[in-house]
Amino acid sequence: MQLHPTSLALGKLGDDAYRFVDWLAAAGQSWWQMLPLGPPDRAGSPYKSRSAFAAWRGLLGNPSAAVSEDEIAELREREAFWIGNWERVAGGRRAVADQVRFAREWSALRAYATSAGVGLIGDVPIYVAPASADHLAWPELFRSGEVAGAPPDAYSDRGQLWGNPLYDWPALQRRGYAWWTERLRRTFALFDVTRIDHFRGFVAYWAVPEGAADARGGRWRRGPGSAVFDAAARSLGSLPVIAEDLGVITEPVTRLRQSLGFPGMVVMQFGFDPDDPHGPHRLENHEQGSVVYTGTHDHDTLRGWWEGLPDPVRAAAAQQISSAGVEEREPWWSLIRLAFSSRARLAMIQAQDVLGLGSEARMNIPGRATGSWRWRMAPGALTDQHARRLRAATEEAGRLGSG
């Protein structure tokens, strides 16, 4: 199940997080997927964090817990690659102490989740934020004159202007891609698996002139391909990665993902277009090695999506639900069960959909500068009844113990 810690009732680690692990285990769920854990930007987005390595102080269940000098020294040694840079930009010793507190709380939560049979899935944004600790500490690794974005498409005739600094891939290559290796090392020290956001950017990325009003004037530039992951694998071994390969995906992107052995993503909300019978998101076209999502943090909830559907798409979805024999009283539960029927190796749902919440519970609306990243569950919202119902659906689909 996908749920960021900020969406727990108290919005942080601590008792809430442990109770959620207990609920997941009772519901027969094997994975807890989160968004990036770094300090978010002013709008609350964890995808434009002040650091690609540091955890956010706001997640701490006990932000005033005592920290010893020995603990600080041990963390400085273990995280020597990045902690000094973070200390300089984030407040000196207190910033380091907060990372000690996070490591303490996180390691206890992860051990508890492991003992309950629940693995943790993280999320790595491909880019860092402008003027972040990473951008300031390693300016030689980034290009100047262009910023990140996405080209115009069916959803936006102006494209998407993200504004993140772009990597100078030749500069990273000359350094053996060490920065990316250390970033993945940090990620796998925290999570069992991670999703890599905007995976297609490793094949080709959209570069927009700095200062442009929108992304229309950008152009494609070639990415590093497998070299980043090959370098990381030499140091770290096997890379348990889910490749976020949504959007307009070309054959070279698919070849790269497959050559690396990374599962890709399919999204149920994209799978009912009557005019796209060969689309990868249609249930019958799912790859066995992929991960199926009912929706992601960038999509509407299942209820909000269903209630806003055009009649032809709703009819196509209803027909597929009926054919699969997974009709429920509520359409969102039918769609959960339909996702569970996929041949994909893992099925990922969102807490909002188990609760049957509408668009008011949506996590993010891409392109909107404010109002996102704020959804939080009501205390006790996920009940024993929800757990029994989800466990029954999981068991009926033969996914108990695997997702």
DSSP per residue, 374-386: ---PPTT-S-HHH
Mean pLDDT by 10 residues, the chain (403 residues): 97 96 97 97 93 98 97 97 96 95 98 97 96 96 95 81 96 98 98 97 96 94 97 97 91 96 95 89 93 94 95 92 94 96 96 96 83 93 97 95 68
- In whole angstroms, give the CA distance from residue 299 to residue 242: 18
Closest by Cα among 100, 96, 64, 68 to 83: 96
For helices 83-90 and 93-115, give the axis angle rounded to 10 degrees: 120
- In whole angstroms, give the CA distance from residue 182 to residue 198: 19
Q: From the CB of residue 290, how many other CB atoms can be counted at a distance below 10 Å?
A: 24
Question: Catalytic: which of 22, 168, 192, 197?
Answer: 197
- In whole angstroms, give the CA distance from residue 69 to residue 232: 32
Going by the DSSP 8-state scheme, the letter that residue 116 receives in this structure is: T
pLDDT computed for residue 350 by the predictor: 96
pLDDT computed for residue 173 by the predictor: 98
pTM value? 0.95
pLDDT computed for residue 17 by the predictor: 97
Q: What is the 3-state composition of the chain as percent helix, strand, coil, each rounded to the nearest 5?
A: 40, 15, 45
Going by the DSSP 8-state scheme, the letter that residue 40 receives in this structure is: P
Going by the DSSP 8-state scheme, the letter that residue 362 receives in this structure is: -
Cβ within 8 Å of residue 56, ≥6 positions away:
37, 38, 39, 40, 46, 49
Question: Catalytic: which of 22, 168, 214, 298?
Answer: 298
* Known active-site residue 197: yes
* Known active-site residue 298: yes
253 to each of 116, 161, 180, 206, 215, how far by Cα in Å?
36, 22, 19, 14, 21
Question: Catalytic: which of 87, 123, 134, 244?
Answer: 244
Q: Which structure tokens are listed for 277?
A: 């019978």
* Known active-site residue 74: no
